[in-house]
C-alpha cells in the first residue's frame, strides 16, 4: 500500500469514529481499551429524572465475567469485549436495573449514556416506618448530643415554612448564600472561593444538585459541619474539606 492510500484509509477510520454518539474518549484510552480481536464500551450511568451521575453502578456483559464499576462522575470503560451482539445489564442501589442490546464491530469503541429509573419504596404499615425511622435517627441524636456541628430538627424546618433548602441553610451561623447565574447555593463562610460543601443524603454521599433539590417538607433533619474539626468520620466524603451538609428525609426506608 502506498503512503498516499494509507493516509486516506487512516482518515476514513478517524471520521467514522468521531461520528459515534457523544464525546469520544482520548485516543490513548481507546488504544488501551481495544485489543486487536475485541471491541470496547464506554459511557456514563445517570438518573433518568435528574441526569445526575450514579456512582458505584455495575455495568456487566451478560453471559461473561466482564464488568465495570462507575466512578464518581458515573463514567466507566469496558475493554476487550467480544465483537458481535452483546447484552449489557446496568445495576445500582436504589435504581431499577436496565438492559441494553448492542452490536459491536471488531476494533470499535461505542460511547453511550445509560439512564436508570429510581425505585419506588413502599412501607406497608406506619408502625414499621416509625421503627425504622427511630433506628435511623439514633445516630443523628447521638451526634447532636456531642455538641459538634449544627443540627436542624423537623420541628424547626416546619416552623420556618421555607420554600427551598437554601432558605433553611442560610439560617445557620457560618453558612452563606452564593448565587451563580440563576442558581443559589450554600457555602461555608470560612471556605475559600469555589470550595463548596459535600452533601450526604440519608447517609450516602450525594451530588449537590440532587441534594439541594430535596423539598423541605420531606426533610426530617439536617446536620451542618462547617469545618474539618467538626466533621465526624462517617461523613468523610470526596469534598468534605469544604464542609458537610447531611440531609435526612422522612420516607427513606
Torsion of CA 145, 150, 156, 157, to 10 degrees: -130
- Which residue ranges in the chain fall short of pLDDT 70? 1-36, 120-136, 251-253
Q: Phi/psi of residue 35, each to 5°?
A: -85, 170
SS3 content of the chain, % helix, strand, coil (to 5): 30, 35, 40
Q: Where are the domains of the chain?
A: 25-116, 126-249
Pairing of strands 109-116, 150-153: unpaired
pLDDT for res 183: 77
Is the distance from CB of 100 to CB of 114 less than 8 angstroms?
yes
Q: Indicate the pTM of the whole model.
A: 0.47
For cell 498516499, the residue is 4
pLDDT at 211: 76
Phi, psi for 244 (deg, rounded to 5): -135, 140
Give me the pLDDT at residue 98, please.
Answer: 92
Q: How far apart are the first and last CA of the chain?
A: 66
Among 150, 122, 136, which residue's Cα sits nearest to residue 204? 136
Residue 161 grid coordinates: 415554612
Tell me phi and psi for residue 82, to 5 degrees.
-60, 135
Q: What is the pLDDT of residue 36?
A: 63
State pLDDT tens for residues 175-186. Answer: 998 887 777 888
**Which class is 126-249 in CATH?**
mainly beta
Give the three-class secondary structure for 89: strand
Evaluate whether the domain defined by 25-116 bears CATH number 2.60.40.10: yes
pLDDT at 30: 47
Amino acid at each position: 500500500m502506498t503512503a498516499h492510500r494509507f493516509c486516506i484509509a487512516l482518515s476514513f477510520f478517524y471520521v467514522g469514529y468521531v461520528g459515534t454518539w457523544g464525546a469520544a474518549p482520548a485516543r490513548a484510552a481507546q488504544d488501551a481499551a481495544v485489543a486487536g480481536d475485541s471491541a470496547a464500551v464506554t459511557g456514563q450511568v445517570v438518573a433518568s429524572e435528574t441526569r445526575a451521575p450514579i456512582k458505584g453502578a455495575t455495568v456487566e456483559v451478560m453471559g461473561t465475567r466482564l464488568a465495570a464499576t462507575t466512578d464518581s462522575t458515573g463514567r466507566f470503560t469496558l475493554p476487550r469485549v467480544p465483537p458481535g451482539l452483546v447484552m449489557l445489564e446496568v445495576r445500582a442501589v436504589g435504581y431499577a436495573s436496565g438492559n441494553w442490546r448492542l452490536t459491536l464491530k471488531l476494533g470499535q469503541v461505542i460511547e453511550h449514556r445509560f439512564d436508570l429509573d429510581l425505585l419506588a419504596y413502599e412501607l406497608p404499615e406506619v408502625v414499621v416506618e416509625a421503627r425504622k425511622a427511630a433506628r435511623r435517627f439514633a445516630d443523628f441524636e447521638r451526634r447532636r448530643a456531642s455538641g459538634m456541628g449544627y443540627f436542624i430538627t423537623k420541628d424547626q424546618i416546619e416552623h420556618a415554612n421555607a420554600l427551598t433548602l437554601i432558605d433553611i441553610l442560610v439560617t445557620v451561623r457560618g453558612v452563606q448564600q452564593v448565587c451563580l447565574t440563576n442558581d443559589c447555593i450554600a457555602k461555608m463562610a470560612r471556605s475559600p472561593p469555589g470550595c463548596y460543601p459535600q452533601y450526604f443524603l440519608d447517609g450516602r454521599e450525594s451530588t449537590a444538585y440532587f441534594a439541594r433539590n430535596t423539598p423541605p417538607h420531606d426533610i426530617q433533619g439536617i446536620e451542618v459541619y462547617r469545618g474539618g474539626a467538626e466533621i465526624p468520620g462517617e461523613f468523610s466524603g470526596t469534598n468534605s474539606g469544604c464542609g458537610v451538609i447531611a440531609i435526612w428525609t422522612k420516607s427513606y426506608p
